């Protein structure tokens, strides 16, 4: 089932829900920059088969959601949209543990949600999470005179070692071909906020990253793992994998690791 729902500020988000009978848990998937939730159909299928109900949504300005396409005026709505969706998942599944799974920018969103909103989910899974502001700071100007300057999406060849995944990404009409300087600037500001508030992250957390990731360095996940005070935290680096570890040839292994971690906490 899919449709639109007004978020906390009224902006309409496109979302999908895929419940299963006798569900063991509910999982909210948060996608990365320039992509959309439809790219997680395979992951959704595996999670459903494991007995989990799955919710997904397009970040504002992405996919089918409303908002200026590929642009942000503030990073806060990304985090607060995730919180709004978690509240929806919890309301519709009052007797189930709820988890959040975020990839790349979605990993930043999940990590920032964890720092801003304690005690709301059973655990958080981060995939190639963009948690370190240092990377964007190196390429962004110190001031942004025109936030609407377009920035081409030139990262397709680096998302996966699987050429079919790259081709599908490039041909997907819902994948943004460009974002704006304003989105990158606000994303960086959000990462700065996260770096300043990592001490507030106490959730059980599984942190996963590809060792060959050339978009978000695996060292960023190692740094985040070391900095958060969570008592229940795990880090796994997959040698040679590129950025989209759930879209690599060994994706079933990665997803199985996620399922195993969740099962241990049910």
In the set 31, 62, 71, 243, the catalytic residue is 243
User: Is the distance from CB of 189 to CB of 143 less than 8 angstroms?
Assistant: no
In the set 104, 133, 160, 221, the catalytic residue is 104
Neighbours of 172 (CB within 10 A): 16
Look up 31 and say whether it is catalytic: no
Look up 213 and say whether it is catalytic: yes
* Residue whose entry in the numeric block shows the structure tokens 């292994």: 253
Buried b (16+ CB within 10 A) or exposed e, 188-198: bbbbbbbbeeb
In the set 62, 213, 220, 221, the catalytic residue is 213
Please return the burial class of 178, using the count of CB atoms within 10 Å of its CB with bins 0-12, 13-18 and 19+. middle
Look up 104 and say whether it is catalytic: yes
CA distance 149 to 51: 44
What lies within 8 Å, CB to CB, of 68 at 6+ separation is 61, 180
Could you list the active site residues? 104, 213, 243
């Amino acid at each position: 089932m899919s449709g639109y729902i007004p978020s906390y500020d009224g902006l309409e988000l496109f979302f999908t829900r895929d419940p299963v009978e006798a569900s063991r848990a509910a999982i909210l998937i948060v996608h990365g920059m320039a992509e959309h939730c439809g790219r997680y159909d395979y992951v959704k299928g595996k999670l459903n088969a494991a007995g989990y109900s799955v919710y997904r949504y397009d970040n504002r300005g992405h996919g089918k959601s409303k908002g200026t396409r590929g642009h942000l005026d503030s990073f806060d709505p990304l985090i607060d949209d995730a919180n709004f969706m978690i509240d929806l998942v919890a309301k519709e599944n009052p007797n189930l543990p709820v988890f959040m799974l975020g990839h790349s920018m979605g990993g930043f969103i999940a990590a920032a949600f964890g720092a801003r909103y304690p005690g709301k989910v059973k655990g958080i899974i981060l995939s190639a999470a963009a948690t370190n502001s240092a990377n964007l700071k190196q390429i962004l100007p110190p001031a942004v005179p025109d936030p609407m300057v377009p920035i081409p999406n030139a990262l397709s060849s680096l998302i996966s070692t699987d050429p079919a995944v790259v081709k599908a990404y490039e041909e997907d009409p819902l994948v943004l071909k460009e974002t704006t300087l304003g989105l990158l600037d606000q994303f960086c500001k959000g990462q700065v906020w996260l770096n300043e508030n990592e001490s507030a992250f106490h959730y059980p957390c599984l942190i996963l990253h590809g060792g060959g990731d050339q978009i978000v360095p695996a060292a960023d996940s190692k740094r985040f793992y070391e900095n958060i005070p969570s008592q229940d935290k795990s880090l796994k680096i997959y040698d040679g994998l590129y950025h989209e570890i759930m879209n690599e040839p060994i994706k079933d292994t990665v997803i199985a690791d996620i399922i195993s971690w969740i099962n241990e906490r049910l």
